[in-house]
A and B are shown apart, each in its own frame.
Chain A
Amino acid sequence: MPPRDRLEPIFQVEGLDAIYGTKPAIKDVSLEIYKNLVTALIGPSGCGKSTFIRCFNRMNDLIPSFKQTGTIRYHGQDICASNIDPVAVRRNIGMVFQRPNPFPKSIYDNVAWGCRVLGMKDDLDERVERALTQAALWDEVKDRLKASGLSLSGGQQQRLCIARAIAVEPDVVLMDEPASALDPIATQAIEQLMHSLKSEYTFVIVTHNMQQAARVADMTAFFSISRGAEGERYGELIEYDATEKIFTRPADKRTEDYVTGRFG
């Protein structure tokens, strides 16, 4: 990894607060996500890392009680500004969810549907094959593309969802605990594909598996739960640095306690 001042930031987050109704989820988060790197968000359950990753493609817009303040600049533009269409944001910033959620369509159509709807109709077969190959699924499904996406195993379904996300050629792929429902072999396949695809995409991954963060991520952000003046719990960014540094020489005691397993 080149030194940090030579990296190109793709997201610049400044003073981000997120609130569900009256319950704060995260407070005052500022960090930069760099292009063509894998950035991991780690931390205990309830620290707001999933809320945070969903801010990047405005997925929280779907929750009526959700509010956020602060800015997230994507290539310099504030994606939360009122003139920005969340559909345009999501078009460029794809997402893979915690549980595999293929459509009740064929394997082929799961990947092709998004391309068709978004007008990428040229060489659809090639596009589907490329996406499935990149997602390390092609060899397993090439003979049964017409079978339902739901007939696949959990790990295959998640790779299908990754293929679906990258088939529309996003700029960034957000992954919200993509391997939490998968066995170690499927997890390894997903980690490998992130590694081999990061020259083309920027990945942000939420995980509560520290070994996974250590294996796949170039940069790691550690979130933790803090208590406010009135005892309310909220998520806070404790430390953000190169993965190697977070795991070997963390600057904050809380990070050290967490990554060494002394978190309690």
Chain B
Amino acid sequence: MSAHGLSGPRVRLDGLPRRQRVNRAMEALAWLAAALGVTILGVVVWSVASKGWSQLNLDLLTKPPIQFSLTNAPQGLSNAFAGTLVIVGLATAMALPVGILVAVYLNEFAPPSIRTGVGLVIDVLAGVPAIVVGIFVFVLLVVGHGQSAIKGAFALAILMLPFVARTTIEVLALVPNAQREASLGLGVPHWRTTLSIVLPRAAGGIVTGTVLAVARVAGETAPLLFTSSIVGTQTSWDPTHALQTIPVAIFELSESPDPKDHARAWAAGFILLLFILFASLTARWLAGRSARKIAGR
């Protein structure tokens, strides 16, 4: 009787026991790798949440910090929250149109040689360290003119651009050629086909890519150290001012000797985490909704 539940004069089981062993070993390795990933994420989220949760209160969102405070007056980080919203918002406004237009040009209009060449440049740009982008913007715009939220946003936009462009290229490439042909075959011009048939079909993917790019740069610290404020305690929405941001605030508060500052750093980290989680879930929801819409359900 065979151990594999199958027997007969013509049944062949060459090397099957070995293949089964290899299969089990590979499955176990893959399972461990997945478990490791989930565990690390779990530990990070749990440590941030457990330390940050108790510090969450409305004052954190609505009150600015007080420098050299000797009192126990409630302090917040409203300056950093406002700054992050302004800077990330401006960065998205700069990177999104450029990124989408780059992708549309490369995928819909450019000859193959340019598509490959510029595609490579985009991938290289995506690999440039954030601190290098920070120094670049610092030398280009900040030296001699001072810091401002716009300059910080410009640095973040440079980081976002390749992400937006790359994800947009990917989703445009997924639009079936039959859709372009259907429109062009009616005598509809190329630009109109791109605008009315191709882009709406890719919209879900573009939004998803953008939300993920926003989530990524919202946590960027390095380029903002040079380009927007590391000291501003005023809560301001004026992009020409140097504005504080959440990641930079976390960086500074964690350097402080005061344990109350550490607590606030954890709380700010927790909020940043919640924001990124919310952004990712939104992206998934939008992608799912657009997929359902295209499938006609």
Contacts and interface: CB of A to CB of B under 8 A. Distances in A.
A101 B296 contact: no
Given A104-B293, A104-B296, A117-B192, A165 B185 contact: yes
Given A97-B181, A101-B179, A88 B296 contact: no
A62 B194 CA distance: 13
A94 B186 contact: yes
Interface SS majority for chain B: helix
Interface string B284-297: 00000000011111
B197 to A, nearest CB: 7
A255 interface: no
A103 B197 contact: yes
A103 B188 CA distance: 14
B201 A99 contact: no
B186 A168 contact: yes
B185 A94 contact: yes
Given A64-B112, A149-B296, A103 B179 contact: yes
A179 B185 CA distance: 18
A257 B207 CA distance: 57
Residue from the set B189, B201, B294 with the largest chain A CB neighbour count within 10 Å: B189
Contacts of B185: 57, 59, 90, 94-95, 97, 165
Contact of A99 (B178, B180, B293): B178
B187 interface: yes
B111 interface: yes
B186 A150 contact: no
A130 interface: no
Interface string A77-88: 000000000011
Interface string A94-116: 11010101111000000001100
A66 to B, nearest CB: 12
A211 B43 CA distance: 69
B176 interface: yes
B184 interface: yes
A164 B178 CA distance: 14
B72 to A, nearest CB: 60
A212 interface: no
A102 B183 CA distance: 10
A112 B192 CA distance: 15
A92 interface: yes
B190 interface: yes
Contacts, number: 75
A114 B178 CA distance: 15
Interface in B93-119: 111-112
Contacts of B184: 59, 62, 87, 90
A111 to B, nearest CB: 11
Interface of A is mostly: helix
A249 to B, nearest CB: 36
Nearest to B111: A64
B30 interface: no
B2 interface: no
B296 A91 contact: no
A93 to B, nearest CB: 8
B281 interface: no
A1 interface: no
A164 B295 CA distance: 19
B278 to A, nearest CB: 29
Nearest to A167: B186
Contacts of B192: 117
B85 interface: no
A148 interface: yes
Interface in A187-241: none
B176 A101 contact: yes
Contact of A150 (B182, B187, B295): B295
A69 interface: no
Which interface residue of B180, B184, B185 has the most chain A CB atoms within 10 A?
A: B185
B294 A91 contact: no
When A and B form their complex, which 6 residue pairs have the shortest distance between CB atoms, in order from nearest? A91-B187, A148-B296, A150-B296, A101-B178, A95-B185, A114-B186
Interface of B: 111-112, 176-190, 192, 196-197, 201, 293-297
16 contacts: A62-B180, A62-B181, A64-B111, A87-B184, A87-B188, A89-B187, A90-B186, A101-B181, A103-B179, A103-B197, A114-B183, A150-B296, A161-B182, A168-B186, A168-B187, A170-B187
Interface of A: 57, 59, 62, 64, 87-92, 94-95, 97, 99, 101-104, 113-114, 117-118, 148-151, 161, 164-165, 168, 170
Given A90-B187, A165-B186, 9 more contacts: A64-B111, A64-B112, A94-B187, A99-B178, A101-B179, A101-B181, A104-B201, A104-B295, A165-B185
